[in-house]
Amino acid sequence: MSGGTGPVVEVVGANVSRGAQRVLHDVDLRIEPGELVALLGANGSGKSTLLRAVVGVLPLESGTAHLLGRPVSQGRAHDGLGYVPQESSEAGSIPATARETVASGLLTARRWWPSARDPRVDAALEAVGMADLAGRPITRMSGGQRRRVMIARALVRDPKLLVLDEPFSGVDVPTQELIAGLFRDLSARGTTLLVVLHETGPLTDDISRAVVLDHGRVVHDGPADQRPHLDPGHGHPEDAAPLDECLGQEIHPA
């Protein structure tokens, strides 16, 4: 599979285990260019695990996954990817400014010291409404402000695919609306988005379709208003994203 005419994400028969426990069971997922897909499910249903498998952070036990036309095991498949994992509890302790954090999104295997003065950094901060706090350490930011900085870090390379894990979690309603508006603008410009959500919330009218997981299996893939409403209880544990993922070191494009 190659070129830009095929699906942006194609996962077939994906199985993932954490330790002795199977977390994903024969998951299929196909996302076409320009779609805004919500990944929904109860706590512990496998949503974050699927996202991390899609971007290549977690290996598949079996099955296949292609991202932007290439197997996820190939580093070049990530050139057009922006990834925002769940916020780590440690992320707010990193002694870096917003500008420095966003600049880390420009790291590649060949460019290990990106400039915080790159104009793309300022443009990404402006897009999330954080330009006025570019020089502030993230240790002095609220959870919502840090979330916007991490989204800016994912946007700094102008990704074709933006993958986000719970971007609205723990942020106030005005910040949710700001982030939702940004997603609408990105979608209108042709960016493909895959977003883990508990509820569709401010994106209800913008979602192309909803994919619902239950105990690691896809139980719905279609219109959001036709999805089953499942018990929000815990199925199995899903580890929080490690700190290096939150800093953007998990993907090094060639």
CA–CA separation, 101 and 84 (whole Å)? 13
All structural domains of the chain with their residue ranges: 9-246
Run of H or E residues at 230: none
Of the ranges 46-55, 89-98, 113-122, which one carries the lowest mean pLDDT score?
A: 89-98
* Phi, psi for residue 183 in degrees, rounded to 5: -65, -40
Sign of CA dihedral 111, 117, 122, 123: negative
Instruction: List, for residues 17-39, the tens digit of each pLDDT value.
Output: 988 889 999 999 999 999 999 99
Look up tokens 């379709």; give the residue.
Answer: 209
> Which residue would you say has higher pLDDT here, 73 or 10?
10
Strand partners, 83: 163
> Residue 115 has what pLDDT?
62
* Phi, psi for residue 163 in degrees, rounded to 5: -115, 125
Range 228-249 average pLDDT: 50
Q: Is the pLDDT of residue 235 over 50?
A: no
> Residue 245 has what pLDDT?
47
> Residue 249 has what pLDDT?
40
CA–CA separation, 122 and 202 (whole Å)? 26
State the chain's mean pLDDT as an integer: 83
Run of H or E residues at 173: helix 173-188
> Residue 119 has what pLDDT?
86
CATH number for the domain running over 9-246: 3.40.50.300
| 88-92, 110-114, 217-221 — most confident range | 217-221
| Beta-sheet pairing, 192-196 with 36-41 | parallel
Q: Which of 130, 54, 48 is nearest to 85 (CA)?
A: 48
Split at pLDDT 50, 70, 90, the class of 78 is confident
Look up tokens 């909803």; give the residue.
Answer: 210
Instruction: List, for residues 137-189, the tens digit of each pLDDT value.
Output: 998 998 889 999 999 999 998 999 999 999 988 888 988 999 999 999 999 99
* Phi, psi for residue 218 in degrees, rounded to 5: -75, 120
> Residue 233 has what pLDDT?
54
Q: Is the pLDDT of residue 252 over 50?
A: no
